């Protein structure tokens, strides 16, 4: 099993973005996690295309784009053009989720759906075969540095059951409050991709923290 570490550039130093991107390039991390917030779906605004383009310019690893925005269909082709490798939309932000998933794929990207802490995984049952990834939010989306919600372990186990015999290659990604203290437990629950912002960028040597996270997954 391959375990993936996705540092969230939301916690990077935007005034020194190039050096933070290069630092992640040189680390054992697998993806760049790119958090886009619109101030409507979530109570915060992060960044949009110009910052993403700046990351893309230097990144040597895939961009894992997490759209915390309403009406994502309006922007999916542009995010694909801007260099997204995978695009994840929120279940709660999509009225026609099946259509949105097809649009992501038609734009040439891998498709993911994110679930807020209150949204059960069973709601994905009828689209689960179409998905490359499910992102389980382990905090309420909107901010870095929040406390991990323990019910996440149960949700990962529920999702693991849901994909059995149907889409076993699906990536189970966890986002929010993930770090050295809980990554091993998340692996045992069945997760295989880990977003971390604060736990990586707020440490003295982020590359070492990434290496330790990798070690704890036994990858």
- Return the number of the residue (38 or 175) whose C-beta is nearest ligand DX5: 175
Q: In the bound complex, what is the minimum distance in angstroms from residue 172's beta carbon to ligand DX5?
A: 15
Dist. CA 191–CA 47, nearest whole Å: 27
Least distance from ligand DX5 to the Cβ atom of residue 94, Å = 17
Q: Which does 87 bind (CB under 5 to 8 A by kind): Zn ion, ligand DX5, none?
A: none
State both tokens at 106. Answer: 């038609």
Based on CB atoms, which residue is closest to ligand DX5, 128 or 149?
Answer: 149
Place of tokens 């070492």: 208
Instruction: Name which of 9 and 187 has its Cβ closer to Zn ion.
Output: 9
Can 130 be counted among the known catalytic residues? no
Closest by CA position to 176, among listed 38, 11, 51: 11
Dihedrals phi, psi of 64, to nearest 5 degrees: -105, 100
Tokens of 153: 């372990």
Q: Which is nearer to ligand DX5, 54 or 202 (CB)?
A: 202
Is 197 known to sit in a ligand binding site?
A: no
Minimum CB–partner distance for residue 150 and ligand DX5 (Å): 14
Of the residues 38, 64, 132, 175, only one is catalytic, namely 175
Q: Which residues bind ligand DX5 (CB under 6 A)?
A: 8, 10-11, 33, 35, 66, 139, 141-146, 175-178, 195-199
39 annotated as ligand-binding:
no
Catalytic pick among 20, 35, 38, 64: 35
Q: Name the residues that contact Zn ion, by CB under 5 A.
A: 35, 66, 175
Q: Is 38 an active-site residue? A: no
* CB-based contacts of 76, cutoff 8 Å, min separation 6: 67, 87, 89, 100, 103, 104, 107, 109
> Is 90 flagged in the annotation as binding?
no
CA distances from 214 to 27, 124, 170, 202, 218 (A): 10, 29, 20, 17, 7
Up-side HSE of residue 64: CA atoms within 13 Å toward CB? Answer: 28
Q: Is there a binding annotation on residue 13?
A: no
Q: Distance between CA atoms of 23 and 68, rounded to whole angstroms?
A: 26
Q: How far is the CB of 138 from ligand DX5 (least distance, A)?
A: 8
Chain CA centroid to CA 118, Å:
17
Query: Which residue numbers are catalytic?
Result: 35, 175
Binding-site residue numbers are: 8, 33, 35, 66, 142-145, 175-177
């Amino acid at each position: 099993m391959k375990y993936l570490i996705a540092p969230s550039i939301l916690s990077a130093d935007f005034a020194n973005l190039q050096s933070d991107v290069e630092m992640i390039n040189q680390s054992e991390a697998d993806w760049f996690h790119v958090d886009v917030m619109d101030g409507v779906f979530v109570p915060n605004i992060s960044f949009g295309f110009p910052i993403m383009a700046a990351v893309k310019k230097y990144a040597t690893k895939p961009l894992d784009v997490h759209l915390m925005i309403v009406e994502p269909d309006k922007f999916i082709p542009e995010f694909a053009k801007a260099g997204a490798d995978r695009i994840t939309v929120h279940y709660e932000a999509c009225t026609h989720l099946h259509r949105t998933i097809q649009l992501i794929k038609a734009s040439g990207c891998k498709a993911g759906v994110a679930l807020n802490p209150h949204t059960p995984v069973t709601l994905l049952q009828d689209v689960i075969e179409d998905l490359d990834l499910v992102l389980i939010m382990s905090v309420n989306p909107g901010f870095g540095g929040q406390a991990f919600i323990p019910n996440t372990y149960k949700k990962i186990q529920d999702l693991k059951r849901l994909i059995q015999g149907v889409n076993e290659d699906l990536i189970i990604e966890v986002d929010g409050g993930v770090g050295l203290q809980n990554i091993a437990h998340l692996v045992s629950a069945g997760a295989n991709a880990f977003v971390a912002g604060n736990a990586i960028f707020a440490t003295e040597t982020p590359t070492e923290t990434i290496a330790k996270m990798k070690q704890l997954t036994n990858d």
